[in-house]
Amino acid sequence: MIRKLAIPFFLGLFLFSLQSSAQKEKDETITRILFVFDGSQSMYARWESGQKIDIARKLMTKMLDSLQSLDSRSFQLALRVYGHQKPVPPQDCNDTRLEVAFGYNNISKIKRVLRSISPKGTTPIARSLSRAATDFPDCDNCRNIIILITDGVEACDEDPCAASRELQKKGIALKPFVIGIGLDENFRETFDCVGNYYDAANEKTFQNVLGIVISQALDNTTAQVNLIDQNGFPSETDIPITFYDRVSGKVKKQFIHALNYLGNPDTVYLDPLVIYNMTVHSIPERHLDSIRIANGKHNHIGLDLPRGSLELKMPSQRGGYEDLKCIVRESGKPDILHVQDFNTIQKYIAGKYDIEILTLPRYTNKNLSIDAGKTTTIGIPPPGVVNFSSSAPGYGSILVSRNNKMEWIADLNPKASRQSIVLQPGNYQVVFRVKSSQKSEFSVSKSFAVSSGTTTIVKLN
């Protein structure tokens, strides 16, 4: 049984305040509510003060009247009815139809259709949910909600749970609301997998449930994302964040995290009907899954994100590199995490990293420590330029001595007799043979030194 909540049915002021809060969002979404209404034969049964169909019509009409007083630009309504076209027997499991399509200011039309319904047929819940997929026209800024009102369970040997899951997985609609009118308590488990189930055991509860469901459907809830630094304060900021719908995997919200003028994480608006997975696009990324937003309260979403900075410096670029890069990997991992430009500062999650600077020769640093709240600076001397010249193009390579062994650094261009290569300061050797020579013994080997900011000429003949 649903808890007894002192929530008036006429939600005008309450819903207006919710809607006003939602309008604070820069890009307001449109809430589209599809009512899937039971028009099957069993709705003629007696319940409380009258027949189920009459009570449902009356209370639905009151609820629609309360919505009519709101600014309709923020929501659209539609009505699908099942079990109202073909009598039983025989059973017609295709007896489901969209009676009122989505639109603005169509409440009067929905009320007219409700008044005209004569319960006749069966209860094709699964097929109604499946057909509902086509009831929502394409829309980039819409949140789609289904409210199923029924007094019976599936009667067509199909699976409403599977139909609901498919709607959610495809991102067509959020998890539906299900209002059971006078259903046996034992049927709760049947509908729990379909959606958020509310048991309207009596007429008064049905009235309250309608109000609760509508208020939740139109509500957006405030939240803040606390990115915790090394001292336990929510001070990390200016990072892109993506919220995904956990079921469909679709992006629901993206923003650059900000601190307000008080230095606190800024307020964002999130849909309390969605279970979120969050990605903070730090380096490396951090994830928080299965985030549930509590309706009607300010939510705090916390994630540890202690960061430090890596500064790459070269004192002078005169005669040096125009676009020097540094490859950054998490320590001991092969995948490239980031490629950072020189003479920049980049923030990383505190930890150990392997860096590789794309100089000639390469500069590497294993297990480099980046500490939270601090800046780690890596500096390299400016390079020098070496001009190679030969009487004719040939094959050659530049080598450097390391640990008493010669290591390859770079190849010369076999199509050019004159070329320039930028190298870090140090002592090198070049081995060269012109193309026209077919004998290895005609190769030449020369040693040369490179100094920062200078030009070295090496003749290969």
The pLDDT score that the predictor gives to residue 320 is 66
Residue pair 39/84 in contact (Cβ under 8 Å)? The answer is yes
Note the pLDDT of residue 71. 67
Distance from C-alpha of 437 to C-alpha of 443, rounded to nearest angstrom:
9
Please provide residue 222's backbone torsions phi and psi, each rounded to the nearest 5 degrees: -80, 150
Give the span between the Cα atoms of 236 and 446, in whole angstroms. 54
Provide the pairing of β-strand 177-181 with 142-150: parallel
78 in Cβ contact with 34 (< 8 Å): yes
* Buried-exposed string 341-362: b where 16+ CB fall within 10 A, e elsewhere: ebeeebbbbbbebbbbbebbbe
The first and second tokens of residue 325, run together, are 């890069």
Residue type, 72: S
Q: Alpha-carbon torsion 297, 298, 301, 304, what sign?
A: negative
pLDDT for res 24: 44
Q: Which of 323, 328, 398 has the alpha carbon at shortest distance from 360? A: 398
* Alpha carbon distance 230, 219 (integer Å): 35
Contacts of 31 (CB under 8 A, 6+ apart): 74, 75, 76, 142, 143, 145, 217, 218
Cβ atoms of 392 and 418 closer than 8 Å: no
pLDDT of residue 140: 85
In CATH, the architecture of 221-304 is Sandwich (2.60)
DSSP string, 259-287: B-TTSSBPPEEE-TT-EEEEEE--SS-EE
| Model confidence pLDDT, tens digit, residues 94-104 | 999 999 999 99
**What are the start and end residues of each CATH 2.60.40.1120 domain in the chain?**
221-304, 307-379, 384-459
Domain 307-379 has CATH 3.40.50.720: no
Instruction: DSSP for 134-176, please give it.
Output: TTS---TTEEEEEEEEESS---SS--HHHHHHHHHHTTSSPSP
Whole-model pTM? 0.83
Ranges of residues in the chain whose predicted pLDDT is under 70: 1-27, 71, 316-320
Q: How many CB atoms lie within 10 A of CB 6?
A: 5
| Architecture label for domain 384-459 | Sandwich (2.60)
Q: Is the dihedral of CA 49, 54, 59, 65 positive or negative?
A: negative
User: Out of 3.90.550.10, 3.40.50.410, 3.40.50.300, 1.20.1090.10, which CATH number does the structure's domain 12-218 have?
Assistant: 3.40.50.410
Coil/strand/helix, residue 240: strand
Predicted pLDDT at 401: 87
CA–CA distances in Å: residue 414 to residues 286, 361, 435: 47, 20, 8
What residue spans in the chain does CATH classification 3.40.50.410 cover? 12-218
